[in-house]
C-alpha cells in the first residue's frame, strides 16, 4: 500500500501519476527520441513517461531546465534552489519541495535553512540575504504575481547583482512550471512497509 | 532572432540597460524559452487544442496572473477563441476546460486528484490532459519571467 504525503519533507517521496503514462512498448519514434531511449538505456521514470504524451514540450524542457538551474555564472546553485523551494511551497508541490530542499541541504552541507522553512514557513528565521531571496520567490509565485518594486529594492539592498536577480527570477518561474506538472499530474507517495 | 525579439523580453519592454545586459548573459535561456513557447502555443501535434484556443488560454492565464503586456500578445493570436481570454468568461461548451485551467494556473496548491478525474469523466484523453498542463505550466513560467523582468527594468529607471 502507498500513502499520499501532505507535509513538506526533505525525504524525497515516490511520484505516482494520476494519468496513464506512455507505454514504452507502444511509444512512437518521436517519443523514443525525446525520451533518449536506446537499447542500453530503457529506464525512464513514470514522470517522464507521463510528459511524453506531449513530446514537443518534453524535448525543449530538459535543456531549458538544466540551463536555468546549473549553468555557470550568476547566482549560486544553492540560492537558485531557494527560489525553487519558495515556488514549491506556495504551490504546495510536496515532491518538488523535497527534491530541491534535499539539494539545497547537500549543496550547503547544512539543513538549517530548509528545517526553518519547513517548520515555520513565511516566518522562518533567515539571514538577510536568504530572507530577501525567499520573500521575492514566494511573492513572484503567487497568482496574481505579488512581487513589488519594494521587494526588488530589498534584493538589491541585500547585495544581489543584476545577474543574480535574473537567475532568481528564472529559477523561481521555472518552478511555477514544474510545480504545475508534478503537483497537478500526480501524487507524492510513500510505500507503507507492512509488519 | 535577437533575444530582444523573444516574447518574454519584448513583452517586458527590455532592449537596453542593466536588465538587457543581464539577459545577454543568459541568451541561451531566453532562446530556449521562446522554443518552449512555440512548442506549447503552436505545436505540430495539437491534440484537442487548436493554436487559437491555446493562445486564448495563455492570454487568459497571463491576464489573471497580472501581466497584461503578455496577455495582449497572446490575445492577438486567439482568433475566434478570443472571448475565452477574458478571465470573466466561463467558457460555455469548454467550461470544464476553463475551470481546470483557472485552478491549475491560479489555485495550484488546491488541485487534487478529483480535478484530473473530472476531466477524464468529461471525456478528455490523458494525452490532452498532459498537453493542457504543459500549456498552463509554461504560461505560468513565462508570465513570471516577464513580471520579474519588468521589476528589474523599473528598478533601473
The domain of A27 spans 2-68+187-191
Q: Average the pLDDT over A75-104 and give the result.
A: 98
pLDDT at A191 (0 to 100):
84
User: Sheet harboring A14-17: ordered strands across?
Assistant: A2-4, A186-191, A14-17
pLDDT single digits (tens) B4-31: 999 999 999 999 999 999 999 999 999 9
User: A78 with A163, same domain?
Assistant: yes
Residue A62 resides in a domain: yes
Least CB–CB distance from B141: residue in A19, A151, A173: A173
Q: Which domains does chain B have, with CATH numbers?
A: 3-156 (1.20.1290)
- Comparing CA positions, the residue from B136, B124, B138 lying closest to residue B48 is B124
pLDDT band at A144 (very low <50, low <70, confident <90, very high): very high
Is a pLDDT exceeding 60 seen at residue A115?
yes
- Distance between CA atoms of residues A169 and B67, nearest Å: 15
Residue A143 lies in a domain: yes
Mutate to test the interface with B, among A20, A94, A176 (most CBs of B within 10 A): A176
* Amino acid A36: pLDDT: 80
Considering the domain architecture, whether residues A36 and A121 belong to the same structural domain is answered as no
3-state secondary structure string, chain A?
CEEECCCCCCCCCEEEECCCCCCHHHCCHHHHHHCCCECCECCCCHHHHHHCCCHHHHHHHHHHHHHHHHCCCCCCHHHHHHHHHHHHHHCCCHHHHHHHHHHHHHHHCCCHHHHHHHHHHHHCCCCHHHHHHHHHHHHHHCCCCCCCHHHHHHHHHCCCCHHHHHHHHHHHHHHHHHHHHHHHHEEEEEECCCC
Same domain, A161 and A125: yes
**Closest to A102 measured CA to CA, from A88, A81, A83:** A81
Say if CB A180 and CB B140 are below 8 A apart.
yes
Interface test with A, best of B48, B97, B151 (most A CBs within 10 A): B151
Domain harbouring A134, CATH code: 1.20.1290.10
Burial class (CB in 10 A: 0-12, 13-18, 19+), B76: exposed
**How much is the pLDDT for A172?**
98
Question: Among B142, B43, B66, B1, which Cα is nearest to A180's?
Answer: B142
Tell me: do A149 and A84 sit in the same domain: yes
State whether A19 and A91 are in the same domain.
no
Asked whether residue A11 falls in the same domain as residue A63, the answer is: yes
A116, A132: one domain: yes
Start-to-end CA distance of chain A, whole Å, equals 12
The answer to the question of residue A156 being in a domain is yes
Could you tell me the three cell numbers for B75?
A: 490575445
Do A63 and A14 reside in the same domain of the chain? Answer: yes
Domain assignment present for residue A123? The answer is: yes
Chain B from 107 to 136: CB within 8 A of any A CB: 107-109, 111, 113, 115-117, 120, 126-127, 129-131, 133-134, 136
Number of separate domains in chain A: 2
Biggest CA-to-CA distance, chain A: 55
ipTM: 0.98
Name residues 35-64 of chain A within 8 A of B (Cβ): 50-51, 53-57, 59-61, 63-64
Residues of B in contact with A19 (CB under 8 A): 116, 120, 126, 129-130
Q: Is the pLDDT of residue A195 over 70?
A: no
Partner B, chain A 60-119, Cβ-Cβ below 8 Å? 60-61, 63-64, 67-68, 71, 73-74, 90-93
In a domain, A181, yes or no: no
Residue A183, strand partner residues: none
Residue A182 falls inside a structural domain: no
Span between the terminal Cα atoms of chain B, in Å: 26
> Is B32–A67 a contact, with Cβ atoms under 8 angstroms apart?
yes
Q: Are residues A86 and A166 in the same domain?
A: yes
Residues A56 and A29 in one domain: yes
Question: Tens of pLDDT along chain B (157 residues)?
Answer: 899 999 999 999 999 999 999 999 999 999 999 999 999 999 999 999 999 999 999 999 999 999 999 999 999 999 999 999 999 999 999 999 999 999 999 999 999 999 999 999 999 999 999 999 999 999 999 999 999 999 999 987 6
Contact B157, B19 (CB under 8 A): no
Q: Do A92 and A52 fall into the same domain?
A: no
Are A87 and A10 within one domain? no
Amino acid at each position: 500500500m502507498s500513502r499520499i504525503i501532505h507535509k513538506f519533507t526533505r525525504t524525497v517521496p515516490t511520484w505516482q501519476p494520476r494519468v496513464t503514462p506512455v507505454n514504452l512498448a507502444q511509444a512512437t519514434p518521436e517519443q523514443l527520441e525525446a525520451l533518449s531511449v536506446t537499447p542500453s538505456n530503457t529506464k525512464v521514470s513514470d514522470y517522464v513517461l507521463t510528459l511524453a504524451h506531449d513530446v514537443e514540450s518534453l524535448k525543449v524542457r530538459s535543456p531549458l531546465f538544466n540551463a536555468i538551474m546549473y549553468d555557470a555564472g550568476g547566482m549560486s546553485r544553492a540560492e537558485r534552489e531557494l527560489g525553487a523551494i519558495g515556488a514549491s511551497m506556495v504551490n504546495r508541490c510536496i515532491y518538488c519541495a523535497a527534491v530541491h530542499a534535499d539539494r539545497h541541504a547537500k549543496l550547503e552541507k547544512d539543513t538549517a535553512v530548509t528545517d526553518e522553512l519547513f517548520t515555520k514557513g513565511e516566518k522562518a528565521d533567515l539571514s538577510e540575504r536568504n530572507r530577501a531571496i525567499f520573500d521575492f520567490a514566494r511573492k513572484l509565485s503567487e497568482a496574481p504575481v505579488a512581487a513589488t518594486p519594494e521587494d526588488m529594492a530589498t534584493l538589491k539592498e541585500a547585495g544581489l547583482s543584476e545577474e543574480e536577480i535574473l537567475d532568481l527570477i528564472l529559477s523561481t518561474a521555472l518552478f511555477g512550471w514544474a510545480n504545475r506538472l508534478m503537483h497537478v499530474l500526480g501524487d507524492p507517495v510513500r510505500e507503507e512497509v507492512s509488519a | 532572432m535577437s533575444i530582444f525579439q523573444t516574447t518574454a523580453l519584448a513583452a517586458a519592454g527590455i532592449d537596453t540597460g542593466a536588465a538587457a545586459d543581464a539577459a545577454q548573459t543568459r541568451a541561451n535561456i531566453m532562446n530556449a524559452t521562446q522554443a518552449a513557447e512555440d512548442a506549447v502555443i503552436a505545436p505540430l501535434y495539437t491534440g484537442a487544442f487548436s493554436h487559437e484556443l491555446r493562445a486564448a488560454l495563455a492570454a487568459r492565464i497571463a491576464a489573471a496572473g497580472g501581466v497584461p503586456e503578455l496577455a495582449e500578445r497572446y490575445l492577438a493570436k486567439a482568433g475566434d477563441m478570443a472571448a475565452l481570454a477574458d478571465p470573466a468568461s466561463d467558457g460555455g461548451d469548454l467550461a470544464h476546460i476553463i475551470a481546470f485551467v483557472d485552478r491549475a494556473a491560479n489555485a495550484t496548491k488546491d488541485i487534487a486528484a478529483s480535478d484530473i478525474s473530472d476531466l477524464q469523466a468529461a471525456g478528455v484523453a490523458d494525452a490532452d490532459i498532459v498537453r493542457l498542463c504543459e500549456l498552463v505550466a509554461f504560461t505560468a513560467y513565462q508570465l513570471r519571467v516577464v513580471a520579474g523582468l519588468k521589476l528589474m527594468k523599473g528598478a533601473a529607471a
